[in-house]
Amino acid sequence: MMTFGSLTEAYSQNVSGKWINELGSMLVIDSIRADHTIQGRYLSSSGVDGKIFPLFGFINKIESGNIGISFTVHWGEYGSITSWTGYLSSNDADPYIKTMWHLVRPQEENEWERIITNSSTFRPKVP
Amino acid sequence: MMTFGSLTEAYSQNVSGKWINELGSMLVIDSIRADHTIQGRYLSSSGVDGKIFPLFGFINKIESGNIGISFTVHWGEYGSITSWTGYLSSNDADPYIKTMWHLVRPQEENEWERIITNSSTFRPKVP
Amino acid sequence: MMTFGSLTEAYSQNVSGKWINELGSMLVIDSIRADHTIQGRYLSSSGVDGKIFPLFGFINKIESGNIGISFTVHWGEYGSITSWTGYLSSNDADPYIKTMWHLVRPQEENEWERIITNSSTFRPKVP
Amino acid sequence: MMTFGSLTEAYSQNVSGKWINELGSMLVIDSIRADHTIQGRYLSSSGVDGKIFPLFGFINKIESGNIGISFTVHWGEYGSITSWTGYLSSNDADPYIKTMWHLVRPQEENEWERIITNSSTFRPKVP
């Protein structure tokens, strides 16, 4: 899709793998393609009965900045969708992905109750 | 990807097509697939020199609720990514897609300046 | 509190009065003080049984920009708090206050369900 | 203002005092009044030249839930306003105040660049 620049293997290595957030949910980034798309899986610690969901996302990186990242999970029969948007920290000694997210629950009757927000900080899963 | 239920043609017709937001940006939803993914294009009214960007997203819909929608644009050489998350109004006489969005600008030096937010309401483009 | 500059009467006139949002909720700004604090009332169209709540907020304005505004409502026995943050449009012919808000519901058991977000655009109430 | 219930001294003790967030900014809650308003000070680690700003806010607490909290800082001559909205964790062994915030910069020319968001988690300042 995007071909304005190639991602070095190093960037891919920085982002790929297993990450855990404050509430114990796990983000797995399986692959980053040359078109800057991400494939992976998400295992939420709450609300979806321990099921694993596929995720789809993007990364972006230009010369002078950090890595931006976004990914989305479609919660299937639960009826909702969550989009995370954030960045990879530039500190190699303490890598983390800081994200803000929006979760839409379209089945809520009141419009003002449909969108939930919060942040998640993902750190590498210790094997 | 998801196969928990098939989307009727009606849902697809409700969402497909051209939509305009308050600031004049255009959302084009070209197709909705059986796996609930969305393909389309985005033409921002500001900040990216009039270029058109591909978008990728999801819709979700269960029996008792409205249509949830999420889509993401990777701004290529501009270095940023935006994710929109929202829902389709249930009022057929005045259809709109109400979204909240996060835009990450990873090249900002200060972490606290990297994520911008706002809302966009998209209404059908009058031919 | 703040005394870095005096608000002209004109600014105060721009913001004071009755405003209505898309969902029919009413914002009433009763007074703006020299210390840039706002006193007013909020009448929500949903969720609080038609009761009127006091609000407290701030405005800020420097030479080269528009008026920024923030206000907060404590929903008393409903247990929640909402903070709106936004700006007054610079178009005198079509004045509006565009806000983003966070609503905290601390009684939700799951942390990730406690904060709701959305936007509200307030326009002058036609008498 | 609000008199639906009195805050016990215990709640006040939980929230009062000095708190530090991930980026080194300090939140000081000096007092909580019977009307549920908060007085305090904020010392940002970035962007405002080390100055201390007064803050104003609310807490809310009903029987079955945690403490909700909101506070606002008017950045004076910097032209912006920030509102934090969140809750106090219910874990006494590891108390923290998790907040989401909106910062409005009304002087930005483009409307879509005016509101920044992120989260801050405040933990007790170790003396």
Q: Please, what is the end-to-end C-alpha distance for chain B in angstroms?
A: 34
With bands split at pLDDT 50, 70 and 90, how would you rate the model's confidence at A10?
A: low
- Please calculate the CA angle D55-D64-C75 and round it to the nearest 5 degrees: 45
For residue A98, pLDDT over 50 is answered with yes
Rounded Cα distance, B37 and B29, in Å:
11
- Which ipTM score applies to this complex? 0.91
pLDDT value for C4: 42
* D1 vs C60, higher pLDDT: C60
> What's the mean pLDDT in B62-85?
92
Scanning every residue of chain D, which has its alpha carbon at the shortest distance from the alpha carbon of C2? Answer: D76
Query: What are the two backbone dihedrals, phi and then psi, of residue D111, each rounded to the nearest 5 degrees?
Result: -55, -40
- Would the CB atoms of A79 and B60 count as touching at under 8 Å? yes
How near does any CA of chain B get to the CA of D122, in Å?
Answer: 15
> Chains A and D: how many Cβ contacts under 8 Å?
9
Q: What is the DSSP letter of D16?
A: -
Instruction: Identify residue C103 by its one-letter amino acid code.
Output: L
Residue A118, pLDDT above cutoff 90 = yes
Q: How far is B4 from chain D (nearest CA, A)?
A: 34
Mean pLDDT estimate for chain A: 89
d(CA D103, CA D82): 4
Distance from CA of B100 to the nearest CA of D (A): 12
Residue B8: pLDDT band (50, 70, 90) is low
Q: Is the pLDDT of residue D13 over 90?
A: no
Residue A79 near residue B5, CB atoms below 8 Å: no
In this prediction, residue C83 carries a pLDDT of 98
pLDDT of residue A5: 47
Confidence bin at A6 (pLDDT 50/70/90):
low
Average pLDDT over residues C72-89: 96
- Residue that wins the pLDDT comparison between C52 and B90: C52
CA C90 to mean position of chain CA atoms: 17
**Which residues on chain B place their C-beta less than 8 Å from a C-beta of chain D?**
23, 46-47, 102-103, 110-118
The model's confidence at residue A2, banded by pLDDT at 50, 70 and 90, is very low
Opening angle at CA B72, ends B66 and B75, nearest 5: 155
pLDDT at B2: 38
CB D44 within 8 A of CB D25: yes
Please report the number of interchain residue pairs, chain B to chain C, with beta-carbon separation below 8 angstroms.
9
pLDDT value at residue B37: 94
pTM: 0.93
Residue C5 pLDDT > 80: no
Which residue did the predictor score with more confidence, D108 or D14? D108
Span D35-86, pLDDT tens digits: 999 999 999 988 777 899 999 999 998 876 799 999 999 999 999 999 999 9
Q: What residues does A91 pair with on adjacent strands?
A: none
C7-63 tens-digit pLDDT: 556 567 789 999 999 999 999 999 999 899 999 999 998 877 789 999 999 999 887
Alpha-carbon span B17 to B125, nearest angstrom? 8
- Give dist(CA B120, CA A12) in Å, integer: 32
